[in-house]
Structure 1
């Protein structure tokens, strides 16, 4: 935001500078160089002596009068050849010199003028030029006056622009703060502006957008919770009816079908539980907070691995926990749920080996999990953390889940201020890396 107004200020200053140069160029084009006019006025005494005293003398007295002026003035008057004068005069003033007019050299504090156009002053005087130097020319006060004038104009322009911009700047800063808080998950925040503020219409539309988004998300969460809770009732009735059926019918032929029904009910229960967990994670940073406590990370990871022995029984799990892991302050249940989801995911795809590592650096904890499975294509590595997204669309409950495990994992890690990335593993499989700030 600051860069925006700094650029605006620089643009205004540049515009004033360009306008100043444009004014000077326009005046010079239509009326002549104003500095030359000032210099000619300052050198008017020497010019008057030359035109009214020296030029009106006859051919015999012309040089005599010129020498007298040299004696009574501090200026230096000398005769130089016309060709030498032409090399010193600007190309744009050559015609003026050839016409016999006075050509002012402001920077050199001098002027040039041909002695004569027809050679009447003395023999071959039409080939000579009077060069007057050390003239009392000083345009610095004029330049300072003009600079002061433009500075005053610039200040008079910048003060109202600054006042006008400051109100916009404060308003935009307030909108930026609201946008940051809304993006961080605080959906109740709204922009507070007065109707007199110039950004009030923008703030109103932002508030309407925020209210609409909040309402949509709230409706989505309510729908998710309602559906999840409503599903539990028929699931419970199905479980009860299945148990009655099992007790009433002792037919061995029905046993496989009842086991399949139990598997379906278990799958529905898992789906409902994961949907509820996902909804709870969405509520973090808004209505609820993490249940953080201090716990030993190495012991918790080992306990998590032990609790999944029935899932990992067909694989060789290699653990490598650094000795300096120590304790961390986090939501233990949520963090271990994230690691557990990664272990379950690795068990589904690993060919035989899984590696779990954990280490501590100066500012973060890093937990890495790798398998020797088929890996994840680079184009899919971001999408696998989306809810209900699965790489293999043809998987059933025997080979895959619902596509919620990695979504829950990412939200759990993000709730701790960390991040999770997936890379290609050393053994060709997927390598998930969890980074948690200390």
Structure 2
């Protein structure tokens, strides 16, 4: 599950990184021209008033600049054009009177040549459009007021008409009494503060009372930068597509894996017990697929074991007993079926001897019984297993000892029941379905014998297979 979410987070991170890289490498160059035109149209009137406010004597400019900085809403500077970090082509455009926009140190800068000089106005713009309008009006109101106060009041309407040609937003002078304002708004204007109305709409306006008069200057509404609004929607759309592709890239292989798992499960349910999924282990559903395949494998083994036990769960068949020298046969059989797993030492005490007593049994079936018990001992032994024989004129015995945890007395009878697994330390969840000992007991019964469980001298369990030797035959 952690791998699934890690993949999703990685795809989302790639989508976000792609969006950011694309914005830096593509968006900023694309917006360079439109932003310059937008800021030029929005600020050309204020910049013209800045030029008009300067004295012809350039020695007075530093003092005037200090006064302008107090009234202007933006950080305002006057820079030598040759010191600006702009390309040669852009510096030439600046000298030709164009307004330039540049992003420097993650801040928007606006440059315009001071008329008749080698200096340039530098305005550091705020980050949001609303703040931009508010700060722009603060400096513009100051410049308009100073410009109008230098003119006879009777000429103000004509002066404003000429100024409206230079500005891209309306400038209106009206008496305060004719405005629909609340007492709070009137108080703000009376204190000489800037009042903003309809700030939440595209009809945002800003108002400022002329000093020493009851007339109010109103600026706005401002022309919305439609290209920026549309471009923002385009960027959001692109980002949404990238996120959708990231999620799709995560969901699609997941969906295909789930479809394959469902198809395999349906085939398994129809009786095709060989059906397995073929999902790569490193895939998102790789671990789930491996778990499913392991479960299917165990179910198939269980069904096979059940079918196999069914062959033994019947009346005693007609056995073909063969005469064997038990020690020699056991030595060969154990060496053939011993797997040597878990670094367990096997000690076989069944060396052939001269004139050994005879034994009669069905070799294949008896080998199966010995193998099942030996496999059981191998699962639970700590370090040692011993196999030995004991044969007399009437009885043959094969003894298998281990040094494992042993089997409690109360469980020794039921361990031979089919599908029985002990809930003790002897059950190490080591596989099997509880049929091996049941089959071994059935084989011993067919030979007229039995399998007994005792305490082993090694400290674990001792299994004793005993049956009549049939030496009289």
**Which TM-score band applies after superposition, normalised by the shorter structure?**
0.3 to 0.5
Structure (1 or 2) with the greater helix fraction: 1
- Report the TM-score when normalising by structure 2: 0.38
Considering only CA atoms, is the larger Rg found in Structure 1 or Structure 2?
2
